[in-house]
Structure 1
């Protein structure tokens, strides 16, 4: 099948490459000519394990193409996916749908035969209907259907998530559109992937409801971690004990400095505002958003407390800047709140991240960036582990201790063992674990 993918950001590029791996003829279009030229050379603008090989393989097989010409992309396509950004709108937190609606107008101008217009971007309820209205208003004679096919890709594991998904959600009431999308996802029949068909509004809400629920799980276990510290319990054992309940599940029960990234922050805000406008406020989601913002500030205060209550004149080594490992994504990362707060308290920050430093330099130019983790520790009064990259899990504790001016470690991801760190001579602080360990 011939597929057009509008947008070569994270979702569009991963989805387009994976569809081509299914055997479809995919053409990805974007107005950014420099990015398109780079992709044609096989240069990948984002860090996602395995994506460079996937793109190169399908470019070589002539199944994956890139262009800045929308007409070229749309002509003959049986499905046109809209995979443009929907960032939080400044001022009110609503999803900014201007790129989606512009894509709809552009498609309307170029549409020449029947196609299913599919919103792959994460969009609020009602967006699909508006996309349909825009196209019909511009081209009353056009023959098309609109569908919703939300993505459920985890950064760092996106290719596996696309190739072996828990489910595929498709929102449309058109049998013709359903038939097209069944054919697109037919390769997943081999692994018996569940395809859930629903109407447009339901499919759009499923994505937001799922992300908000996972965000609530993260905030819940973070609050439980705080309680564990007060009563002498171990949050990891609590998480395991409740996660073994099949109704709850073990995933997203890991304490830390709060969630970030491209999805949870903006999706919880968008769902919160949608519910408020509908007159049915989601108070649990509202509390989750408020607590997560507070959580990041609390983590900075926790670091300062470990330094005696003041950061003035202190040198702090920070390991990990991205919101999670295996990505270079800095969007809404806890580091963007924690590091400036420490600097405002008078601390000097030296930082390292295996993939995120190029982007971090743009956002926090007054941080000192180091070539390796040990370089950050030279003369440090404290080390803060913010992102649980594998590169930080097996560091030489003796070398760490020798490099630091004060052996204070604040492990906000609980990567290290408490007893091991204390035995190595560190003043070790973690999240939600009793001091006796």
Structure 2
């Protein structure tokens, strides 16, 4: 298929990755964004998103004259063969997806779309959004297609160029074939379906992943109660191909830019449609309960008084991003646990390797420092919340020397308990057997 002229509206994780990768496949891409400062930086290949391979992909596409950036959304679509909507759909009132950005852009481009153009919903949107966008456009000569993304932050470029499936939902088969042609060079199964099925596929996938994580976290509690080891149990069941090993590692709960908003949006949609979905509701509730249980674990070890108050107790948090390999703090489970600790009165100092240069304002919650040893000054315990591999190799002896207490609560089961014991620390994970005795 010949190279197409593509416009991508929105330059977040999905939009920028989509634009840069489509350009790398030989298409001519213009990415539009309402933020003029961001546009200027991207024209200089300055990518502010922490995403491996993305800065290089953007730079190569710019150098090949296949990628450009603009702040003029209307002008960007006037000659496009395909227009991708990669816009935020955050959780709105009552848990429903907020489509304000999608609807606003549809209004902006309605009159300037060229005849025969295909508009693609790449954003995660509720069932029926394709029809909604088509109605807002009011253009019988413009097809609207659903093409959900399945990108993992920290592996977005890899996932785009090596997808395990490409899902396209369209009522117009010619439009579907045109969108499929954009990915012709990629070796991946193609799922051609109707728009509603494509839209629901994205939500169903994220719900299933959230459910699996809630299962793993709840299973860790069961392991603790019966003296079993979650690592061994997870390996034992994960080797069953019907189950698989992915998303079976316990942690401080699930979060990020997708799972929380998408599970709530699906639950809200089901409620409005009169569909009872107790498994989905339990998945969400289990996540919240699990995080509270972890806070109780810290309070039991470090709290004061019978009520386990953490008032005035200093704690060091290691990791705030929702997972390793990204600087994204959106709906981070680490921040959720931090807020629960703060509500109990704890004084929090935090270190995260992704936030040493990108310093968000979290002053109402934690004191953010750029030295992991400094973070431990005078603390009763350390709490590991993000699975950054480099945390394994910290100078834990130096950290122990700065601490007032000896506890390390490893809510990612990341650290070596024996190594911490040699540093004079007591390791406590989740769902694991008892740690070695602290070495004096």
> Any residues of structure 2 matched to 1:366-385 within 5 Å, and which?
366-385=365-384
- Give the match for residue 279 of structure 2: 284
**Distance in 2 between the 1:100 and 1:58 partners?**
26
- Give the match for residue 56 of structure 1: 59
Deviates more, 1:64-73 or 1:151-160: 64-73
**Distance in 2 between the 1:292 and 1:41 partners?**
41
**Distance in 2 between the 1:65 and 1:368 partners?**
39
**Distance in 2 between the 1:16 and 1:244 partners?**
37
**Distance in 2 between the 1:203 and 1:51 partners?**
26
Q: Per the alignment, do residues 128 and 364 of structure 1 end up closer, same or farther by CA in structure 2, a change over 3 Å counting?
A: farther
**Post-superposition offset of 1:110:** 1.0
**Distance in 1 between the 2:286 and 2:357 partners?**
29
> Any residues of structure 2 matched to 1:4-403 within 5 Å, and which?
4-89=7-92, 91-136=93-138, 139=139, 142-188=140-186, 192-308=187-303, 309-356=308-355, 361-403=360-402
Q: Secondary structure at the match of 1:203?
A: helix
**Post-superposition offset of 1:357:** 6.0
CA contact (8 A) 1:48 1:327 kept: yes
**Distance in 1 between the 2:432 and 2:325 partners?**
26
**Distance in 2 between the 1:275 and 1:405 partners?**
50
Unaligned runs of at least 5 residues, structure 1:
none
**Post-superposition offset of 1:349:** 1.1
**Distance in 1 between the 2:147 and 2:363 partners?**
36
Q: Per the alignment, do residues 359 and 150 of structure 1 end up closer, same or farther by CA in structure 2, a change over 3 Å counting?
A: same
Could you give the per-residue CA deviations for residues 61-104 of structure 1, whole angstroms, max 9, x where no partner exists?
A: 11111011123311221111000000000x31100011111222
CA contact (8 A) 1:5 1:27 kept: yes
Could you give the per-residue CA deviations for residues 147-189 of structure 1, whole angstroms, max 9, x where no partner exists?
A: 100000111111101010111100013121122112201110x
Q: Secondary structure at the match of 1:350?
A: strand
CA contact (8 A) 1:330 1:359 kept: no
Q: Secondary structure at the match of 1:110?
A: coil
What TM-score do you get using the length of structure 1 for normalisation? 0.94
Q: Secondary structure at the match of 1:102?
A: helix
Q: Per the alignment, do residues 126 and 364 of structure 1 end up closer, same or farther by CA in structure 2, a change over 3 Å counting?
A: farther
Q: Secondary structure at the match of 1:373?
A: coil
Q: Per the alignment, do residues 265 and 359 of structure 1 end up closer, same or farther by CA in structure 2, a change over 3 Å counting?
A: farther
**Post-superposition offset of 1:314:** 2.2
Count of aligned residue pairs for this structure pair: 429
Deviates more, 1:411-420 or 1:146-155: 411-420
Q: Secondary structure at the match of 1:187?
A: coil
**Distance in 1 between the 2:345 and 2:130 partners?**
49
**Distance in 2 between the 1:77 and 1:346 partners?**
55
**Post-superposition offset of 1:197:** 0.6
